[in-house]
Structure 1
Protein backbone atom coordinates (compact mmCIF):
# COMPACT_ATOMS: atom_id res chain seq x y z
CA UNK A 1 0.00 0.00 0.00
CA UNK A 2 1.15 3.54 -0.74
CA UNK A 3 -0.25 7.05 -0.79
CA UNK A 4 -1.07 6.96 -4.48
CA UNK A 5 -4.40 8.39 -5.55
CA UNK A 6 -5.80 4.96 -6.42
CA UNK A 7 -4.94 3.63 -2.96
CA UNK A 8 -6.58 6.54 -1.18
CA UNK A 9 -9.68 6.13 -3.35
CA UNK A 10 -9.95 2.36 -2.80
CA UNK A 11 -13.09 1.31 -0.96
CA UNK A 12 -11.21 -0.77 1.60
CA UNK A 13 -8.42 1.73 2.30
CA UNK A 14 -9.28 2.32 5.97
CA UNK A 15 -9.89 -1.37 6.66
CA UNK A 16 -6.51 -2.34 5.23
CA UNK A 17 -4.77 0.26 7.37
CA UNK A 18 -6.53 -0.90 10.50
CA UNK A 19 -5.33 -4.44 9.83
CA UNK A 20 -1.71 -3.29 9.82
CA UNK A 21 -1.68 -2.41 13.53
CA UNK A 22 -3.07 -4.14 16.65
CA UNK A 23 -6.57 -3.07 17.67
CA UNK A 24 -6.53 0.06 19.80
CA UNK A 25 -3.12 1.21 18.59
CA UNK A 26 -4.50 4.20 16.68
CA UNK A 27 -7.46 6.49 17.35
CA UNK A 28 -9.16 5.92 13.98
CA UNK A 29 -11.98 8.34 13.23
CA UNK A 30 -15.24 6.91 11.98
CA UNK A 31 -16.20 7.63 8.38
CA UNK A 32 -19.06 9.76 9.70
CA UNK A 33 -16.77 11.85 11.92
CA UNK A 34 -14.30 12.34 9.09
CA UNK A 35 -17.04 13.43 6.69
CA UNK A 36 -18.41 15.86 9.26
CA UNK A 37 -14.94 17.35 9.63
CA UNK A 38 -14.64 17.76 5.86
CA UNK A 39 -18.04 19.42 5.55
CA UNK A 40 -17.24 21.80 8.40
CA UNK A 41 -14.04 22.82 6.63
CA UNK A 42 -15.82 23.32 3.32
CA UNK A 43 -18.46 25.47 5.05
CA UNK A 44 -15.69 27.87 6.05
CA UNK A 45 -14.04 28.00 2.62
CA UNK A 46 -13.67 31.33 0.83
CA UNK A 47 -15.24 31.83 -2.59
CA UNK A 48 -13.49 30.46 -5.65
CA UNK A 49 -11.00 27.64 -5.99
CA UNK A 50 -9.69 25.89 -2.90
CA UNK A 51 -6.05 26.12 -1.85
CA UNK A 52 -4.35 23.35 0.13
CA UNK A 53 -1.09 24.04 1.98
CA UNK A 54 1.44 21.20 2.06
CA UNK A 55 4.49 21.27 4.32
CA UNK A 56 5.39 17.55 4.50
CA UNK A 57 4.58 14.58 2.28
CA UNK A 58 1.82 16.51 0.49
CA UNK A 59 4.61 18.54 -1.15
CA UNK A 60 6.18 15.61 -3.02
CA UNK A 61 3.14 13.35 -3.24
CA UNK A 62 -0.12 15.33 -3.22
CA UNK A 63 -2.08 12.46 -4.86
CA UNK A 64 -4.85 14.81 -5.92
CA UNK A 65 -5.84 16.58 -9.12
CA UNK A 66 -4.81 20.23 -8.88
CA UNK A 67 -4.38 23.22 -11.14
CA UNK A 68 -0.83 24.08 -10.16
CA UNK A 69 0.96 25.28 -7.07
CA UNK A 70 2.73 28.26 -5.56
CA UNK A 71 5.53 28.53 -3.05
CA UNK A 72 3.86 29.93 0.05
CA UNK A 73 4.85 31.37 3.42
CA UNK A 74 2.78 30.65 6.50
CA UNK A 75 3.47 32.90 9.47
CA UNK A 76 2.71 31.88 13.03
CA UNK A 77 3.35 28.17 12.49
CA UNK A 78 6.49 26.11 11.90
CA UNK A 79 7.20 22.62 10.57
CA UNK A 80 8.39 20.10 13.21
CA UNK A 81 8.62 16.35 13.73
CA UNK A 82 6.04 16.18 16.49
CA UNK A 83 3.86 13.14 15.79
CA UNK A 84 4.69 9.54 16.64
CA UNK A 85 3.47 7.09 14.02
CA UNK A 86 3.22 3.30 14.41
CA UNK A 87 2.04 3.05 10.81
CA UNK A 88 3.45 4.16 7.46
CA UNK A 89 6.95 5.18 8.56
CA UNK A 90 7.09 3.18 11.78
CA UNK A 91 5.68 0.22 13.68
CA UNK A 92 4.04 -0.20 17.10
CA UNK A 93 7.34 -1.64 18.35
CA UNK A 94 9.45 1.20 16.89
CA UNK A 95 7.31 4.23 16.04
CA UNK A 96 8.54 6.73 13.52
CA UNK A 97 8.09 10.49 13.50
CA UNK A 98 6.25 12.61 10.95
CA UNK A 99 5.74 16.33 10.51
CA UNK A 100 3.09 18.59 11.92
CA UNK A 101 2.61 22.32 12.23
CA UNK A 102 3.42 23.78 15.65
CA UNK A 103 2.64 27.28 16.89
CA UNK A 104 5.27 29.96 16.44
CA UNK A 105 7.77 30.99 13.80
CA UNK A 106 7.06 30.59 10.10
CA UNK A 107 7.03 27.88 7.47
CA UNK A 108 7.42 27.77 3.72
CA UNK A 109 5.77 25.05 1.69
CA UNK A 110 3.59 24.54 -1.38
CA UNK A 111 0.04 25.76 -1.90
CA UNK A 112 -1.97 23.62 -4.35
CA UNK A 113 -4.94 25.10 -6.18
CA UNK A 114 -7.95 22.79 -6.52
CA UNK A 115 -10.77 23.55 -8.94
CA UNK A 116 -13.85 24.47 -6.90
CA UNK A 117 -16.06 22.18 -8.97
CA UNK A 118 -14.17 19.10 -7.81
CA UNK A 119 -12.81 20.38 -4.51
CA UNK A 120 -15.07 18.21 -2.36
CA UNK A 121 -14.03 15.04 -4.20
CA UNK A 122 -10.34 15.89 -4.03
CA UNK A 123 -10.40 17.00 -0.42
CA UNK A 124 -12.23 13.84 0.56
CA UNK A 125 -9.09 11.96 -0.53
CA UNK A 126 -6.95 14.36 1.49
CA UNK A 127 -9.15 13.74 4.54
CA UNK A 128 -8.78 9.97 4.10
CA UNK A 129 -5.03 10.53 4.24
CA UNK A 130 -4.62 13.20 6.91
CA UNK A 131 -7.71 12.66 9.05
CA UNK A 132 -7.86 8.88 9.49
CA UNK A 133 -7.09 9.61 13.13
CA UNK A 134 -7.42 12.64 15.39
CA UNK A 135 -3.72 13.48 15.09
CA UNK A 136 -4.31 16.69 13.12
CA UNK A 137 -6.78 19.57 13.14
CA UNK A 138 -7.90 21.12 9.82
CA UNK A 139 -7.41 24.87 9.85
CA UNK A 140 -7.88 27.75 7.43
CA UNK A 141 -4.78 29.91 7.32
CA UNK A 142 -3.53 32.94 5.40
CA UNK A 143 -0.53 32.37 3.14
CA UNK A 144 1.82 34.86 1.51
CA UNK A 145 2.66 33.93 -2.10
CA UNK A 146 4.27 35.64 -5.11
CA UNK A 147 0.75 36.01 -6.51
CA UNK A 148 -0.61 37.66 -3.37
CA UNK A 149 -2.16 36.55 -0.09
CA UNK A 150 -4.61 33.68 -0.11
CA UNK A 151 -6.61 31.54 2.29
CA UNK A 152 -5.77 27.84 2.36
CA UNK A 153 -6.70 24.73 4.30
CA UNK A 154 -3.93 22.90 6.12
CA UNK A 155 -3.49 20.46 9.00
CA UNK A 156 -1.93 21.53 12.30
CA UNK A 157 -0.89 19.15 15.06
CA UNK A 158 -3.50 18.18 17.64
CA UNK A 159 -1.63 18.93 20.85
CA UNK A 160 -4.26 17.00 22.81
CA UNK A 161 -3.66 13.86 20.76
CA UNK A 162 -2.12 10.80 22.37
CA UNK A 163 0.69 10.64 19.79
CA UNK A 164 1.77 14.27 20.06
CA UNK A 165 5.42 14.27 21.07
CA UNK A 166 5.75 17.68 22.66
CA UNK A 167 9.14 19.29 22.05
CA UNK A 168 11.66 16.53 21.56
CA UNK A 169 15.39 17.13 21.76
CA UNK A 170 17.00 17.12 18.31
CA UNK A 171 19.17 14.09 19.16
CA UNK A 172 16.10 12.12 20.27
CA UNK A 173 14.29 13.13 17.09
CA UNK A 174 17.22 12.09 14.90
CA UNK A 175 17.61 8.73 16.62
CA UNK A 176 13.92 7.94 16.17
CA UNK A 177 13.98 8.91 12.49
CA UNK A 178 17.20 6.99 11.83
CA UNK A 179 15.82 3.70 13.13
CA UNK A 180 12.13 3.62 12.16
CA UNK A 181 10.49 2.07 9.09
CA UNK A 182 6.99 0.96 8.11
CA UNK A 183 4.91 -0.17 5.16
CA UNK A 184 5.51 3.16 3.35
CA UNK A 185 9.28 3.00 3.82
CA UNK A 186 11.86 4.38 6.20
CA UNK A 187 11.39 7.45 8.32
CA UNK A 188 14.78 8.75 7.17
CA UNK A 189 13.55 8.67 3.56
CA UNK A 190 10.51 10.71 4.60
CA UNK A 191 12.89 13.33 6.03
CA UNK A 192 15.18 13.16 2.99
CA UNK A 193 12.29 13.62 0.56
CA UNK A 194 11.05 16.61 2.53
CA UNK A 195 14.49 18.25 2.45
CA UNK A 196 15.05 17.48 -1.24
CA UNK A 197 11.62 18.81 -2.19
CA UNK A 198 12.19 22.03 -0.27
CA UNK A 199 15.60 22.48 -1.87
CA UNK A 200 14.21 21.81 -5.36
CA UNK A 201 11.86 24.76 -4.89
CA UNK A 202 14.56 27.00 -3.47
CA UNK A 203 13.11 26.85 0.04
CA UNK A 204 15.63 27.00 2.87
CA UNK A 205 14.81 25.18 6.13
CA UNK A 206 17.97 25.03 8.20
CA UNK A 207 16.44 22.93 10.96
CA UNK A 208 15.34 20.26 8.51
CA UNK A 209 18.68 20.27 6.67
CA UNK A 210 20.60 19.95 9.93
CA UNK A 211 18.38 17.11 11.07
CA UNK A 212 18.86 15.33 7.74
CA UNK A 213 22.64 15.54 8.13
CA UNK A 214 22.46 14.23 11.70
CA UNK A 215 20.29 11.28 10.66
CA UNK A 216 22.65 10.49 7.76
CA UNK A 217 25.59 10.38 10.18
CA UNK A 218 23.70 8.07 12.54
CA UNK A 219 22.85 5.68 9.71
CA UNK A 220 26.44 5.72 8.48
CA UNK A 221 27.80 4.45 11.81
Structure 2
Protein backbone atom coordinates (compact mmCIF):
# COMPACT_ATOMS: atom_id res chain seq x y z
CA UNK A 1 0.00 0.00 0.00
CA UNK A 2 1.30 3.44 -0.90
CA UNK A 3 2.14 5.98 1.79
CA UNK A 4 -0.79 8.15 2.81
CA UNK A 5 -0.48 11.89 2.43
CA UNK A 6 -2.84 14.17 4.33
CA UNK A 7 -3.72 17.80 3.76
CA UNK A 8 -2.16 20.46 5.96
CA UNK A 9 -5.31 20.27 8.09
CA UNK A 10 -4.87 16.55 8.65
CA UNK A 11 -7.68 15.54 6.28
CA UNK A 12 -7.66 12.81 3.65
CA UNK A 13 -9.41 13.43 0.32
CA UNK A 14 -9.90 11.26 -2.79
CA UNK A 15 -10.72 12.70 -6.25
CA UNK A 16 -12.98 10.70 -8.53
CA UNK A 17 -13.20 11.47 -12.25
CA UNK A 18 -14.78 8.21 -13.45
CA UNK A 19 -17.22 5.87 -11.76
CA UNK A 20 -16.26 7.18 -8.32
CA UNK A 21 -18.53 10.10 -9.20
CA UNK A 22 -21.64 7.91 -9.06
CA UNK A 23 -20.25 5.02 -7.01
CA UNK A 24 -18.58 6.68 -4.01
CA UNK A 25 -15.85 5.08 -1.90
CA UNK A 26 -16.91 3.81 1.53
CA UNK A 27 -16.74 5.87 4.70
CA UNK A 28 -16.82 9.39 3.26
CA UNK A 29 -18.34 12.23 5.25
CA UNK A 30 -18.13 15.01 2.64
CA UNK A 31 -18.75 15.01 -1.10
CA UNK A 32 -17.64 18.08 -3.05
CA UNK A 33 -18.08 18.64 -6.82
CA UNK A 34 -15.31 20.52 -8.58
CA UNK A 35 -12.39 20.10 -10.92
CA UNK A 36 -8.66 19.66 -11.36
CA UNK A 37 -6.48 21.35 -13.97
CA UNK A 38 -3.49 20.33 -16.04
CA UNK A 39 -5.05 17.07 -17.23
CA UNK A 40 -7.22 15.67 -20.01
CA UNK A 41 -9.68 12.81 -19.39
CA UNK A 42 -9.71 10.08 -22.03
CA UNK A 43 -11.08 6.55 -22.53
CA UNK A 44 -7.57 5.32 -23.17
CA UNK A 45 -7.13 2.76 -20.37
CA UNK A 46 -7.84 -0.94 -20.90
CA UNK A 47 -10.04 -2.70 -18.34
CA UNK A 48 -9.44 -6.40 -17.82
CA UNK A 49 -11.06 -6.63 -14.39
CA UNK A 50 -14.33 -4.66 -14.47
CA UNK A 51 -15.59 -3.60 -17.90
CA UNK A 52 -13.76 -6.26 -19.88
CA UNK A 53 -11.73 -9.43 -19.46
CA UNK A 54 -8.06 -10.31 -20.00
CA UNK A 55 -9.08 -11.91 -23.30
CA UNK A 56 -11.23 -8.95 -24.38
CA UNK A 57 -10.37 -5.81 -22.38
CA UNK A 58 -12.90 -2.99 -22.21
CA UNK A 59 -12.07 0.70 -21.93
CA UNK A 60 -12.25 3.07 -18.95
CA UNK A 61 -11.06 6.61 -18.35
CA UNK A 62 -7.70 7.83 -17.16
CA UNK A 63 -6.09 11.26 -16.85
CA UNK A 64 -3.29 12.36 -19.13
CA UNK A 65 -1.09 15.31 -18.27
CA UNK A 66 -2.07 18.05 -20.68
CA UNK A 67 1.55 18.80 -21.65
CA UNK A 68 1.97 15.17 -22.76
CA UNK A 69 -1.48 14.95 -24.37
CA UNK A 70 -0.60 17.95 -26.57
CA UNK A 71 2.16 15.85 -28.17
CA UNK A 72 -0.28 13.11 -29.22
CA UNK A 73 -2.65 12.87 -32.18
CA UNK A 74 -6.22 13.12 -30.90
CA UNK A 75 -9.49 13.35 -32.79
CA UNK A 76 -11.11 15.13 -29.85
CA UNK A 77 -10.02 18.69 -29.00
CA UNK A 78 -10.02 19.69 -25.36
CA UNK A 79 -10.76 23.37 -25.07
CA UNK A 80 -11.23 23.41 -21.31
CA UNK A 81 -8.41 23.01 -18.83
CA UNK A 82 -10.88 21.72 -16.23
CA UNK A 83 -11.49 18.04 -15.58
CA UNK A 84 -14.65 17.84 -13.49
CA UNK A 85 -15.34 15.22 -10.86
CA UNK A 86 -15.99 14.77 -7.18
CA UNK A 87 -13.75 14.92 -4.10
CA UNK A 88 -14.57 12.79 -1.07
CA UNK A 89 -13.31 13.37 2.46
CA UNK A 90 -12.77 10.05 4.21
CA UNK A 91 -13.61 9.61 7.87
CA UNK A 92 -10.38 9.84 9.86
CA UNK A 93 -10.83 6.49 11.59
CA UNK A 94 -11.39 4.74 8.24
CA UNK A 95 -8.51 6.17 6.19
CA UNK A 96 -6.31 3.06 6.33
CA UNK A 97 -9.25 0.82 5.47
CA UNK A 98 -10.34 2.94 2.52
CA UNK A 99 -6.76 3.32 1.25
CA UNK A 100 -6.30 -0.44 1.26
CA UNK A 101 -9.68 -0.94 -0.42
CA UNK A 102 -8.89 1.51 -3.22
CA UNK A 103 -5.38 0.12 -3.74
CA UNK A 104 -6.88 -3.34 -4.29
CA UNK A 105 -9.60 -2.05 -6.59
CA UNK A 106 -7.20 0.03 -8.69
CA UNK A 107 -4.55 -2.59 -9.41
CA UNK A 108 -5.27 -2.77 -13.15
CA UNK A 109 -2.65 -0.22 -14.20
CA UNK A 110 -3.43 2.72 -11.92
CA UNK A 111 -1.00 4.41 -9.54
CA UNK A 112 -1.44 7.02 -6.82
CA UNK A 113 -0.85 10.71 -7.48
CA UNK A 114 -1.78 13.93 -5.71
CA UNK A 115 -3.27 17.06 -7.23
CA UNK A 116 -4.95 20.30 -6.12
CA UNK A 117 -8.74 20.13 -6.39
CA UNK A 118 -10.84 23.26 -6.95
CA UNK A 119 -14.32 23.08 -5.35
CA UNK A 120 -17.16 24.32 -7.55
CA UNK A 121 -18.34 26.70 -4.82
CA UNK A 122 -15.07 28.64 -4.92
CA UNK A 123 -13.86 27.64 -1.46
CA UNK A 124 -10.20 26.88 -0.79
CA UNK A 125 -8.38 24.29 -2.88
CA UNK A 126 -8.05 20.77 -1.49
CA UNK A 127 -5.10 18.41 -1.85
CA UNK A 128 -6.55 15.15 -3.17
CA UNK A 129 -5.30 11.68 -3.90
CA UNK A 130 -6.13 10.45 -7.40
CA UNK A 131 -5.59 7.16 -9.21
CA UNK A 132 -4.16 7.60 -12.73
CA UNK A 133 -3.21 5.12 -15.41
CA UNK A 134 -0.09 6.84 -16.72
CA UNK A 135 1.24 6.27 -20.27
CA UNK A 136 3.93 3.95 -18.86
CA UNK A 137 1.44 1.38 -17.58
CA UNK A 138 0.80 -1.62 -19.83
CA UNK A 139 -2.96 -0.99 -19.92
CA UNK A 140 -2.58 2.46 -21.50
CA UNK A 141 -4.00 2.28 -25.03
CA UNK A 142 -3.41 5.83 -26.25
CA UNK A 143 -5.41 7.65 -28.95
CA UNK A 144 -7.97 5.78 -31.01
CA UNK A 145 -10.32 6.83 -33.78
CA UNK A 146 -13.64 7.74 -32.07
CA UNK A 147 -15.91 5.40 -34.02
CA UNK A 148 -13.57 2.45 -33.51
CA UNK A 149 -13.37 3.27 -29.80
CA UNK A 150 -17.16 3.65 -29.50
CA UNK A 151 -17.70 0.28 -31.19
CA UNK A 152 -15.16 -1.32 -28.84
CA UNK A 153 -16.94 0.13 -25.80
CA UNK A 154 -20.31 -0.92 -27.16
CA UNK A 155 -19.41 -4.60 -27.45
CA UNK A 156 -17.23 -4.96 -24.32
CA UNK A 157 -18.48 -6.54 -21.10
CA UNK A 158 -16.82 -7.56 -17.84
CA UNK A 159 -17.52 -8.60 -14.24
CA UNK A 160 -19.01 -5.17 -13.48
CA UNK A 161 -21.29 -5.16 -16.50
CA UNK A 162 -21.53 -3.61 -19.93
CA UNK A 163 -18.75 -1.23 -20.86
CA UNK A 164 -21.27 1.10 -22.49
CA UNK A 165 -23.16 1.42 -19.20
CA UNK A 166 -19.98 2.79 -17.64
CA UNK A 167 -19.69 5.37 -20.42
CA UNK A 168 -23.34 6.45 -20.30
CA UNK A 169 -23.36 6.60 -16.49
CA UNK A 170 -20.25 8.77 -16.56
CA UNK A 171 -21.87 11.15 -19.03
CA UNK A 172 -24.97 11.47 -16.82
CA UNK A 173 -22.93 11.91 -13.64
CA UNK A 174 -20.74 14.62 -15.16
CA UNK A 175 -23.67 16.57 -16.54
CA UNK A 176 -25.19 16.57 -13.07
CA UNK A 177 -22.25 18.23 -11.34
CA UNK A 178 -22.45 21.71 -12.85
CA UNK A 179 -23.75 23.54 -15.92
CA UNK A 180 -20.11 23.59 -17.08
CA UNK A 181 -19.05 20.07 -16.14
CA UNK A 182 -19.77 18.21 -19.37
CA UNK A 183 -16.90 16.56 -21.23
CA UNK A 184 -16.87 16.68 -25.04
CA UNK A 185 -14.87 13.46 -25.36
CA UNK A 186 -17.37 11.60 -23.18
CA UNK A 187 -20.42 13.10 -24.88
CA UNK A 188 -19.25 12.29 -28.40
CA UNK A 189 -18.47 8.69 -27.49
CA UNK A 190 -21.84 8.39 -25.74
CA UNK A 191 -23.65 9.74 -28.79
CA UNK A 192 -21.83 7.28 -31.03
CA UNK A 193 -22.65 4.37 -28.72
CA UNK A 194 -26.33 5.35 -28.65
CA UNK A 195 -26.36 5.44 -32.44
CA UNK A 196 -24.67 2.03 -32.64
CA UNK A 197 -27.21 0.65 -30.18
CA UNK A 198 -30.10 2.07 -32.19
CA UNK A 199 -28.80 0.57 -35.42
CA UNK A 200 -28.23 -2.78 -33.75
CA UNK A 201 -31.77 -2.87 -32.35
CA UNK A 202 -33.25 -1.86 -35.68
CA UNK A 203 -31.27 -4.59 -37.45
CA UNK A 204 -32.47 -7.25 -35.01
CA UNK A 205 -36.14 -6.65 -35.69
CA UNK A 206 -37.37 -9.79 -37.40
CA UNK A 207 -33.85 -11.13 -37.90
CA UNK A 208 -33.97 -13.79 -35.19
CA UNK A 209 -30.61 -12.72 -33.77
CA UNK A 210 -29.76 -13.41 -30.14
CA UNK A 211 -30.73 -10.49 -27.93
CA UNK A 212 -28.26 -8.42 -25.95
CA UNK A 213 -29.88 -9.56 -22.71
CA UNK A 214 -29.30 -13.21 -23.69
CA UNK A 215 -25.64 -12.43 -24.24
CA UNK A 216 -25.40 -10.77 -20.83
CA UNK A 217 -27.23 -13.68 -19.21
CA UNK A 218 -24.85 -16.19 -20.79
CA UNK A 219 -21.85 -14.15 -19.62
CA UNK A 220 -23.09 -14.10 -16.02
CA UNK A 221 -24.13 -17.77 -16.13
CA UNK A 222 -20.50 -18.66 -16.73
CA UNK A 223 -19.45 -17.24 -13.39
CA UNK A 224 -19.16 -13.50 -13.98
CA UNK A 225 -21.42 -11.22 -11.97
CA UNK A 226 -21.75 -7.55 -11.27
CA UNK A 227 -21.26 -8.06 -7.53
CA UNK A 228 -17.63 -6.99 -8.03
CA UNK A 229 -18.55 -3.51 -9.25
CA UNK A 230 -15.52 -1.32 -9.60
CA UNK A 231 -14.58 1.73 -7.63
CA UNK A 232 -12.90 3.25 -10.63
CA UNK A 233 -11.27 6.62 -10.51
- 1:71 maps to 33
Deviations 1:81-125 (A, max 9, x none): 111122321123332101111111430100011122321112211
Given that 1:90 and 1:180 are in contact with CA atoms closer than 8 Å, whether structure 2 keeps it comes out as yes
* TM-score normalised over the length of structure 1: 0.77
Q: Which aligned pairs between 1:51-200 and structure 2 lie closer than 5 A?
A: 51-104=13-66, 105-130=81-106, 132-133=107-108, 135-145=109-119, 146=121, 147-200=123-176
Q: Which has the higher contact order (CA 8 A, sep 6+)?
A: 2
Equivalent residue for 2:193? Answer: 215
Task: Provide the residue aligned with 1:24 in structure 2.
Answer: none
Q: Secondary structure of the residue that 2:144 maps to in structure 1?
A: coil
Q: For 1:93 and 1:66, locate their aligned partners in 2 and report how far apart those are by CA, in whole Å.
A: 35
State the distance in 2 between where 1:144 and 1:86 align.
32
Normalising by structure 2, we get a TM-score of: 0.73
User: In structure 2, what is the Cα distance between the partners aligned to 1:176 and 1:148?
Assistant: 40
1:146-175 Cα offsets, whole Å, 9 max, x none, are 222110000122211111101122122111
Higher Cα Rg, which structure: 2
Moved over 4 A (4+): none
Cα deviation digits, residues 29-48 of structure 1 (max 9, x gap): xxxxxx2x2xx2x1x33232
- Cα distance between partner residues in 2 of 1:53 and 1:213: 26
Partner of 1:49: 11
Q: How many residues align?
A: 180
Answer whether contact 1:95 1:176 (CA < 8 A) is retained: no
Secondary structure of 2:50 counterpart: coil
